[in-house]
């Protein structure tokens, strides 16, 4: 008997073809239309198709992500299903996948997949990526790995997956640790296991969380605006090990003193933030001030996690413990 999976189709480039009126690709294809162009899927699994949406990646919001994860949570309770695949626009795929990883409490594989080229191109990578995602979703070795991103025959943990290139089919990478495994010709090969995974229980998220990016000579004007506009949490993308220009310090301190969680991340693509340096504006001063260190997560993933923790009612100190000591 073949295994049974469900595939949520949400849109993205994998569903796109060229619109003759605009001359550019737009989400068009239904789930069944995509599946019809993927050879060999019927031999792999029985598939339940869920046409959840036709959204380009930038149209996906945190609230829509939350709606999607609620639908996935209900479906995954079906004992018949061995796993779930979710197609998604690549621009925000890593955020939606990470939100699912934090909220879903299941051993079953949940696999996110997309495409970098649309169906009107000869080099459309959608069918190959979708077939690989299905193979991972039905493979017993993928159980317990958490939510995965499967693109270009690599299995990448959702917590680590980063889109690193605007166009390359190998765009998704794990910045620091590499893939969990690969899809080979005849099997799924798992090379490492995740040692940390966090589960957050919440019935809502707080979407009024802002990211402020700082650069050389930046001041605190945007931080001040976010505070005055009622932000409930602030992620500051700083420099290096987690440092900010001196001109921004007063605004950072004001944000902390309002009682909202203020998290420092780095614009560096690899490594973690830490209170290494002691000069003015450096991580050590920020931590004494009450700023939370964001660990190894990039700013956009810290924002997603902060939204969920605030929705769950976490205190600032609970948020600090999660980000500074957790996954």
Contacts of 269 (CB under 8 A, 6+ apart): 162, 164, 175, 298
Q: Containing H/E element for 51?
A: strand 46-55
Residues 306, 319 contacting (CB under 8 angstroms): yes
- DSSP-assigned beta bridge partners for residue 296: none
Q: What CA–CA distance (Å, rounded) separates 189 from 155? A: 9
The whole-angstrom separation of Cα 84 and Cα 94 is 16
- The crossing angle, in degrees rounded to 10, of helices 93-103 and 299-311 is 40
Contact 258, 221 (CB under 8 A): no
Q: With CA atoms as reference, report the closest residue to 207 among 122, 52, 95.
A: 95
Query: Tokens standing for 252?
Result: 């950072």
Between CA 297 and CA 215, with CA 56 as vertex, the angle to 5 degrees is: 40
Give me the catalytic one of 10, 13, 87, 231: 13
How many Cβ atoms from other residues are within 10 Å of residue 213's Cβ?
13
CA nearest 265: which of 234, 289, 290, 288?
Answer: 234
Q: Could you give the CA distance from residue 130 to residue 87 in angstroms, rounded to a whole number? A: 8
Residue with tokens 């893939």: 179
Task: Specify the DSSP class assigned to residue 173.
Answer: E
User: What is the pairing mode between strands 154-157 and 181-183?
Assistant: antiparallel
Q: Determine the angle formed by the axes of helices 299-311 and 62-76, rounding to 10 degrees.
A: 70
Mark whether 13 is an active-site residue: yes
Q: How many CB atoms lie within 10 A of CB 36?
A: 12
Q: Which residues are catalytic?
A: 13
């Amino acid at each position: 008997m073949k295994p049974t999976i469900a595939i949520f189709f949400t849109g993205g480039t994998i569903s796109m073809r060229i619109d003759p009126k605009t001359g550019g690709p737009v989400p068009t294809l239904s789930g069944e239309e995509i599946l019809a162009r993927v050879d060999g899927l019927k031999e792999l699994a029985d598939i339940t198709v869920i046409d959840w949406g036709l959204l380009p990646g930038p149209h996906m919001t945190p609230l829509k992500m939350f709606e999607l994860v609620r639908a996935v949570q209900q479906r995954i309770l079906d004992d018949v299903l061995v796993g779930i695949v979710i197609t998604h626009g690549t621009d925000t795929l890593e955020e939606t996948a990470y939100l699912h990883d934090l909220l879903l409490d299941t051993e079953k594989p949940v696999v996110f997949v997309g495409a970098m080229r649309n169906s009107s191109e000869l080099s459309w990578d959608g069918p190959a990526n979708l077939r690989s995602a299905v193979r991972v979703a039905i493979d017993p070795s993928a159980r317990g790995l958490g939510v995965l991103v499967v693109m270009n025959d690599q299995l990448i943990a959702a917590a680590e997956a980063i889109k690193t290139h605007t166009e390359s089919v190998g765009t998704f990478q794990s910045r620091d640790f590499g893939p969990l495994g690969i899809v080979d010709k005849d099997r799924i090969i798992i090379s490492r296991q995740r040692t940390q995974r966090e589960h957050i229980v919440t019935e809502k998220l707080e979407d009024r969380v802002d990211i402020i990016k700082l650069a050389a000579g930046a001041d605190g004007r945007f931080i001040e605006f976010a505070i005055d506009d009622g932000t409930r949490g602030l992620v500051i993308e700083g420099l290096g090990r987690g440092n900010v220009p001196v001109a921004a310090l007063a605004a950072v301190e004001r944000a902390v003193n309002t009682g909202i969680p203020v998290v420092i991340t780095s614009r560096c693509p690899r490594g973690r933030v830490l209170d290494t340096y002691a000069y003015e504006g450096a991580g050590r001063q920020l931590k004494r001030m009450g700023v939370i260190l964001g660990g190894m997560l990039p700013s956009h993933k810290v924002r997603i996690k902060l939204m969920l923790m605030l929705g769950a009612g976490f205190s600032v100190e609970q948020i600090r413990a999660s980000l500074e000591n957790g996954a």
